[in-house]
A and B are shown apart, each in its own frame.
Chain A
Amino acid sequence: MSTVDADAASLARSLELLETIILGKPTQIRLCLACLLARGHLLIEDVPGVGKTTLAHALAHVLGLAWRRVQFTSDLLPADIIGVSVFDRARQRFDFRQGPVFTQLLLADEVNRASPRTQSALLEAMEERQISADGTTYALPDPFFVVATQNPHEQLGTFALPESQLDRFLMRIRLGYPDAAHERALMRGGERREILSGLAPVLTPAAMLRMQRAVRGLYMADSLLDYTQSLIARTRSRPDLRLGLSPRAGQGLVRAAQAWAYIGRRAAVLPEDVQAVLPAVISHRLEGADASARSGEELAREIIEASAVPA
């Protein structure tokens, strides 16, 4: 079996596995995987108790990545994430003690509970994929993902992420309540995290990097790029949106569509792939810009339905 087929098979296997842990949310799980395959950071937003953290754990576990978890609180400091320089008395010099960010997958739990200063320290690391401390630059491992969870803004004790920082998350997904059947299964089943600890990882970091390269190389026809551009242009021309999508969002949209097509085992990207990832990619970027109280998903739906797919 070639590596390509092997990768595809293990990808399918990890999807299956994730679906046994997070019940009834196949689309969200696929989006999460697509986000990571597109080298993007993921934001999971929902009310407490619907399985955000479990999903993040499951991802880290199944993908076979080294991971660490940081619970964000209002008194968390940047050094608690990045690391500190400690004076080594014996050797008469400062040593840099790496913080939890030096890992392949960082779980940033309840990221909006930390102060803006700490948030921005993390978000800088996300964008640059490196850390600067005391004049030295430390590269973060590759792959490097941040999977952040956050509670909705309305909750007490939260600092909303500004648009500039939201823009750095490739996708934002919402889990939502499970339907009755899956909720019943949850009630009957055991503690999810215990199930997790019993699982062997399916993928390896090397396989992850290989798949990321394959995703980037997936063919996207010019006519499809035209269509994608027309979607983005529409967000910029709408009078009810203060801000349109950034070029970074456009890049991310293309990458995410490629990842979606890769998961669907297609050799080229289709308009459907762009449409499938569009809500997750753009909803968090547009919500803050919307004058009305529509959700980002509704806006994304409107934008899709207003743009014709050219023949």
Chain B
Amino acid sequence: MRPLAWVCAAFAGGVLLNIDRMPAWAGVTALALITWRLRSARRRAWLPPAWLRAILALIVTALVLARFHTLNGLAAGTTLLILMAALKLLETRQARDQLVLVGAALFLLLAACLDRQDLPRAPLYALQTWLCCAALAAVASPAMKPREAARLALRALLLAVPLAAALFVFFPRLPGSFWAIPRAGQAVSGLSDSMSPGGITNLVANYDPAFRVKFAGEPPPPAQRYWRGPVLHDFDGRSWTRREWAQHPRQPLEYLGKPVSYRVSLEPTQRRWWFALDLPEKSPAPQVTLTYDYQLLASDPVSDAISYELRSYTHTRGMGELSGTARREDTGLPEGANPRSRALALRLRSAAGSDADFAQAVLAYLAKGGFVYSLEPQPLGENTVDDLLFRTREGFCGHYASAFVDLMRAAGVPARVVTGYLGGEWNAVGRYLLVRQSDAHAWAEVWLEGRGWTRIDPTAVVAPERLTRGVFDLMPQAFGAGDRFLYSGGWLRGLLQRWDAANAWWTEKVVKFNYTSQLDLLARLGIRTPDARYLGWAFMAALLGWLAVLGWHTNRGARAPRGDALARAYLRLCGKLRRAGAARLPYQGPLDFARSIGAARPEFAPAVTHLLEQYARLRYGVRGARQPREVADFSRAVSRLSLRRRRAASA
């Protein structure tokens, strides 16, 4: 009964760790079967016979197939494993069956670890490991009390920790991604390759982290924290989209000011962009290209947390000319759309002396036209830009960027929409900048003669405070009550920052500890040749060292029980004698020991025999007759005893 309860607990833990991955009915079925088995163990209730179990197994397989159309993959495989193990529970009678179930629980733990490695789950995994080990102990010796089993498992795990750490650091890792886990249907929010007027608004209510940035020096001022993402060129009158196949030569740039070096830790996005501070100098990795419009585009979507080093210049000047095709592409507008704004653009352009003046005039128009920065603007009609400029006059960054670029293009000035993030929250604990999805932003870039592509943020004139503060600070009412409670309070915010810093550390140092970080670490330890053999040697050395420590620990012989001064003194005496060449055999009692010393090292006998007799009386004599002072006296006498001098004198 008792081992079964342990096994059920371990298995239930495995189910709970994976509960969000499988359909609800599967989780409920598994937990119900566990309850049934436990009840039947207590009340000798009915358990299904073999033929019924076989039919149930077939039904379960069919259900999983019907739900997932496959038995492969994490979700389908986990569901099948859980259901089959739950059925196995119904025929669990012997220790062997119970071991199989603990094995299943451990496998479920592994499955959970495969793609969820965030910090909050780490203690759960540790707990589940403990539970499984305790279940193993309980199965191995059914008479063991639950407490003992738990303690034994804890002790074994603690002893294994150094070995696990050594394995973690030194076990040779493979470059690249070893696990190819198909991840189906994981919707990740983030910027996409298209933007409709309300698009970014959805993102703004999302407080999840997008990426974290650690700067080598001082971080750039808040108004310079433009994080460049997808650049959008094509406008259909309503939404902006990225041009997939366009290829143009990249403009040569003149860098002004000092570069900013930093390291970005990007959360998985399932998209191909890597974000960089406007503008990155070059691509951080071979599989990432720096496109002509300064996007960092990877060959594969970012499916795991990654980090990369970059250098950016916040101030640049374009040196070259814009080619004819590029100019055509970035001045194109849908035919006949937004006639009123087109007229406005032409009027403003003819009044302005240059493209730069024209851009200033448009910004002035936006600043003075009574435009409002709002997260919940009225919906726009067919001609989105006309509606915004002349009817609703309220909008979010996407609206203004879209309208601004439209006006530019209407007057023949090349312009494009850049999406990305603006700002970020400085985490003083971890000394990094946390950029959240709610920091998503859209701005414009305009081609100006002699200056190249120039960033112009129309939102900055409508809501200048957005440059220095996050959307949350500006419009807390747009967020849910829970978020408002969590992110506005003083001390709570500090606590959350700490938590986020711990999370970032965990992701950076533990989850993403890979081939390269291993080499870095080894280089710091003085091993500079990137060779798996060295790792193997280091690992073997660590393993042997650990075994030696363990062996020493278990073979240290008798240890004094806590708080037993007499035992401590006696062991001290035995230690002295051992070092002097008269070791006590483990099974020798004190008088026996005295006799053997008398035979082997008679020169010690006079000093030692009396002590040993004293010990025998103190240890085995009637307890009431013993004074605490006597133990202290004995201890002192042991301290005073010097065998070396005696040997020298006798020699």
Residues of A in contact with B (beta carbons under 8 Å apart): 219-221, 223-224, 267-272, 275, 304-311
Contacts and interface: CB of A to CB of B under 8 A. Distances in A.
B620 A221 contact: yes
B52 interface: no
B585 to A, nearest CB: 8
A142 to B, nearest CB: 28
Most chain A beta-carbon neighbours within 10 Å: one of B570, B592, B617, B620: B620
Contacts of A269: 620
B324 interface: no
B163 interface: no
B621 A219 contact: yes
Contacts of A306: 587
B622 interface: yes
B591 A309 contact: no
Interface of B: 557-558, 560, 564, 567, 570-571, 574, 585-592, 616-617, 619-623
23 contacts: A219-B620, A219-B621, A221-B619, A221-B620, A221-B623, A270-B589, A270-B590, A271-B589, A271-B590, A271-B592, A271-B620, A272-B591, A272-B592, A275-B587, A275-B592, A306-B587, A308-B558, A308-B586, A309-B589, A311-B558, A311-B560, A311-B567, A311-B574
B560 A270 contact: no
B587 A310 contact: no
Contacts of A223: 619-620
A271 B591 CA distance: 9
Nearest to A218: B622
Nearest to B586: A308
Contact of B621 (A268, A272, A304): A268
A235 B200 CA distance: 78
A221 B621 contact: yes
Nearest to A308: B586
Given A221-B623, A307-B587, A311-B570, A270 B616 contact: yes
Contacts, number: 55
Contacts of B560: 311
B620 A224 contact: yes
Contact of A275 (B557, B564, B570, B589): B589
A292 B571 CA distance: 37
A65 B587 CA distance: 39
Going nearest first, the 4 A-B pairs with the smallest beta carbon separation are A271-B589, A308-B586, A311-B567, A272-B589
A276 B431 CA distance: 72
A311 B587 contact: no
B620 A304 contact: no
A270 B616 CA distance: 7
A195 B621 CA distance: 41
Contacts of A219: 620-622
A220 B365 CA distance: 103
B618 to A, nearest CB: 10
A267 B624 CA distance: 13
Given A307-B587, A309-B586, 8 more contacts: A267-B622, A268-B620, A275-B592, A305-B587, A310-B558, A311-B560, A311-B564, A311-B570
A270 B591 contact: yes
B591 to A, nearest CB: 5
Contacts of B571: 311
Contacts of A224: 620
Contacts of A275: 587, 589, 592
A309 B587 contact: yes
Contacts of B567: 310-311
Given A221-B623, A268-B622, A304 B570 contact: no
Nearest to A269: B620
A307 B558 CA distance: 11
Contacts of A304: 587
Given A272-B592, A275-B592, A311-B558, A267 B587 contact: no
A157 to B, nearest CB: 41
B616 A308 contact: no
A240 to B, nearest CB: 19
Contacts of B616: 270
